[in-house]
Amino acid sequence: MAQGLNRDEPASAAEETASVVLVAEVLGRTRRVHMTLSGEDHDWAVIACQRKVPFTVTGMLGFERRARG
């Protein structure tokens, strides 16, 4: 389920991108997963967010620590 959807400045006039925060089950635990979507993936995320319905994403999951400062 999308927890947040923020529109980014488009790299080109034809393609929009969005930073998405998903609530996802990862190895049996609920996690917030941050990702960037563009093109058709972006369009589906917008529709899912508007309708408040779950959607599926696939790919390699990486872990980045937050910088403390």
Instruction: Give the start-to-end residue ranges of the domains of the chain.
Output: 2-16+28-51
Q: Residue 17's pLDDT is what?
A: 77
DSSP readout, the chain?
A: -EEEEEEPPPSBTTB-EEEEEEEEEETTEEEEEEEEEEHHHHHHHHHHHHHT------S-----PPPP-
Q: Residue 68's pLDDT is what?
A: 61
Confidence of residue 5 (pLDDT cuts 50, 70, 90): low
Per-residue pLDDT tens digits for 14-37: 667 777 778 788 888 988 888 888
Q: Is the pLDDT of residue 43 over 70?
A: yes
pTM (two decimals): 0.60
Q: Residue 26's pLDDT is what?
A: 81
